[in-house]
Each structure stands twice: as structure tokens, then as C-alpha cells.
Amino acid sequence: MRRDQGFTLIEILVAVAVMAVMGVMALVGLNTVIDQQTIAHAQADRWSKVQFTVRMLTQDLSQLHPRGIRADSTLLGSIDANPSSAYPLEFSRGGWNNPAGLPRGTVQRVAYEIEDDKLFRLHWPVLDRTLSAVPIRNELLDGVEEIELRFLDDGGQWQPSWPPLGVPPAAALSMRPRAVEVKIFLEDLGEIWRLVEVSG
């Protein structure tokens, strides 16, 4: 009698075990690739937001306008950045595009502030505002710990606030620095800084 040749039970079990191990290894590798791709996308999105924020700050500060404003009953200079200010940085900027031809000027009042570890850009629809003028707030970046500013005066000295101490109020209204240094401290990326030359 001739016996049929085939796989034994042990051989089948070994083959199944090898296939299971290879499947687990492939799944682990696939999960690693997916995780790395997710991390890469998150980092790219983070850097994109950081670059947009720095570009927005640079564009705003480079178009600093000498126009002071009246905020309710208070006169504020073209740039207002000191410990007693309502915002860490507030200033007038030129070059506000008006493609729709609305009845408004081309100078815009903007401000930057940090709230709940988020950096916001604010702007007002009018320059001389009352208490009823509510600013439009746009979130730029999260994970912001602090923002530091320095201002280069005409004498080549760095000032921690603007207008500098001792400047007469009338002169402070239109006084502008030669350059502004901005440092942004982020929770995940550390310190990012930019030196912006002021036009004019």
C-alpha cells in the first residue's frame, strides 16, 4: 500500500506561527510609519503657523505709521508698548488695502496680546475709537509663553518700552523707533526672534 505524502500537523502549526510573526512585524512597521507621518504633518503645520505669525508681525511693524490715535478720552502715540498699556504692543500701520473702495482710510490700528498661551492679533475698523468700538481678534499661534520687545531709538540705544521715558507727550504721539526686536518664547520650540526695520 502506498501512503499519500502531505504536511504534518506540526509543519502546519510552524507555518502559521511564522506567518503570524511576520504579520505582527508588518503591522508594527506600518503603525510606526503612520505615527511618523502624523508627527511630520503636525510639525509642518506648527512651523507653518509660526512662519505666518512672524511674517504678519514683520509686515505690520515694517509699515509702522506715525499717526497717533484717540482711544476714548486718551491720546495714544503711533506705537504704544509699555507696562501700563492695555496691550503689550499696539500701533498704527499704513498700507491697509481697500480693494472694495470702502469709506475708510488706509491706516489701521493693530495690537498683539497673549491670552491663555495664545497670541492674538487685534485690529479696529476705525483709528480714533470709543468704548463701543470692539476690536476684531484673530488667533495666530498657540503655545506662546511670553513676548519680549525692544525698540531702537534715534540715538542708537535700545529701549524696553515705547515711547521712551522723558519724551514730551506731544512728541510721543508721532515718534517712531528705527527698529523693533521681537522675541517670542514658545513651549515647544523655545525662543524665536526677529529684528524689523521701521520704514521712514
Q: Listing from the earlier edge strand, what are the strands of the sheet with 179-186? A: 158-159, 144-152, 179-186, 190-197
pTM above 0.85?
A: no
Q: What is the mean pLDDT of the chain?
A: 88
Q: HSE (CB half, 13 Å, CA atoms) of 47?
A: 5
β-strand pairing of 118-124 with 144-152: unpaired
Asked if residue 148 belongs to a domain, the reply is yes
Residue 103 binned pLDDT confidence (cut-offs 50, 70, 90): low
Can you tell me the mean pLDDT for 166-189?
Answer: 90
Q: What is the pLDDT of residues 32-84, one digit of tens each?
A: 888 888 888 888 999 999 999 999 999 999 999 999 898 888 888 899 998 88
Phi, psi (rounded to 5 degrees) for 199: -70, 155
Asked if residue 107 belongs to a domain, the reply is yes
Distance CA(139)–CA(15), nearest Å, equals 57
Domain region containing 72 = 58-197
* β-bridge mates for residue 23, sequence order: none
Asked if residue 29 belongs to a domain, the reply is no
Q: What's the domain count of the chain?
A: 1
CATH of residue 155's domain is 3.10.610.10
**Those residues with Cβ within 8 angstroms of residue 7's Cβ, 6 or more apart along the chain or in another chain:** 15
Asked if residue 32 belongs to a domain, the reply is no
Task: Report whether 124 contacts 109 (CB < 8 A).
Answer: yes
Asked if residue 181 belongs to a domain, the reply is yes
